[in-house]
Amino acid sequence: MRRRRSIPVALFCVCGLAVPAFLQAQAPEAVVKPGGKEPTLSFGGLLQVQTEIGGRGDSRFSSDNDRFYLRRARLNAVGKFLEELDFKLEIELAGSIANTSALRAQLTDGYVNWNRYPEANLRVGQFKTPFGYEQLFNDPRLITIERSLVNDRLTQSRQLGMQIGGDLLDKRLSYAAGAFNGTGANNNFNDDDRFLVAARLSGVLWRGKLLGQSASWSLGGDAYSSEDTNVAQAADFGLDSTPSTPDRDNIFSGERRGTGFDTQLQVGRFDLWAEALRTEWEPASGRPRKSFESDGWYVQGSYYVIKDRLQAVLKAERFDPQSAADRDATEIGTAGLNWFLKGNDLKLLLNYLRVRPEGQDDQDKLLARIQVIF
């Protein structure tokens, strides 16, 4: 792009006067070049500005104070090499529902992927583990503002590790299996010499016409297993690795196994999702019990009232951190509207939540978000 003349240079030209040499000189245009040899490189980002009004809601929220906050603020770089390798590097500058006193940069994804064979991609680095359909669904494309509570509590999110996965049968069958440190995102260590192992298998069982509309039905299942020495967990489970002290430290040591099943039905403008997750715990400390189970589910339906523009959604969910305990489950009902100004690149979301923690008063909460992808 040619630079415009400065105002003094323009005046000299209009008057027919000679332009002094020091005014003719122009600084060279800045050029940004990749430092590597990749043939394709793109930069982008995601910004989600959010507000919440009403009661506290479920256990993920810190208080019942009305507020504005950054839900996600991300910058990323994605590239590809001719040697059949691609990579992604993404940092998060916000990324928490809970109150945060000092925003700071953290890594979300950082991995290299060998993509020579669509049937067997090999990925190493930090990325989402193959467990939980809603958890694996891309954040900017979620139909509700927040994932279900059971997905946030019982899935393993991002971990450091290695995974092999791919698509088979003309992309009608997908699989992924990997080994991970099991200590969570942005923890560059393993708490012992064992790995968390996770795997997922999903497929499109049927494609055709239903009620005169294009339709498809998919089914998926996943599982993981891990032996841990010192892994932080949410307070919901009542875990405590040091029974000798009065306070619970929410640290897990022992064995845990998770399973999940999910299904999706799409008919024209209508989408129906359902998923159930379960985790079996065997704490070495015996607290809160020698062994116990956590489980939960959600059912979500959405419909484009105006095609590709206005979407309505209803969702029901339940999460029970200790199935054997009484009055500790949480039920949540969500009603929402999504307005797509420019697809997922620019959209507005509005959710009303009715949260029913057993043994406590019901909570009403309103969430609103504007999302920009650039």
Domains of the chain by start residue, with CATH: 47-65+118-373 (2.40.160.10)
pLDDT (0 to 100) of residue 320: 98
- Please state, in angstroms and rounded to a whole number, the distance separating the CA atoms of residues 355 and 61: 12
pTM: 0.89
Ranges of residues in the chain with a pLDDT under 70 are 1-28, 30-34
Query: Which residues make Cβ contacts (< 8 Å) with residue 197, sequence separation at least 6?
Result: 177, 178, 179, 180, 224, 225, 226
In 3D space, the residue among 59, 5, 64 whose CA is nearest the CA of residue 365 turns out to be 64
Longest Cα–Cα distance in the chain: 93
User: For residue 67, what pLDDT is reported?
Assistant: 96
Q: Degrees (nearest 5) of the Cα angle 263, 264, 270?
A: 155
Q: Give the model's pLDDT for residue 292.
A: 97
pLDDT value of residue 230:
95
Q: From CA 65, how far away is CA 79, in angstroms rounded?
A: 42
* pLDDT recorded at residue 31: 67
Q: What is the pLDDT of residue 32?
A: 64
> What's at 146, amino acid-wise?
E
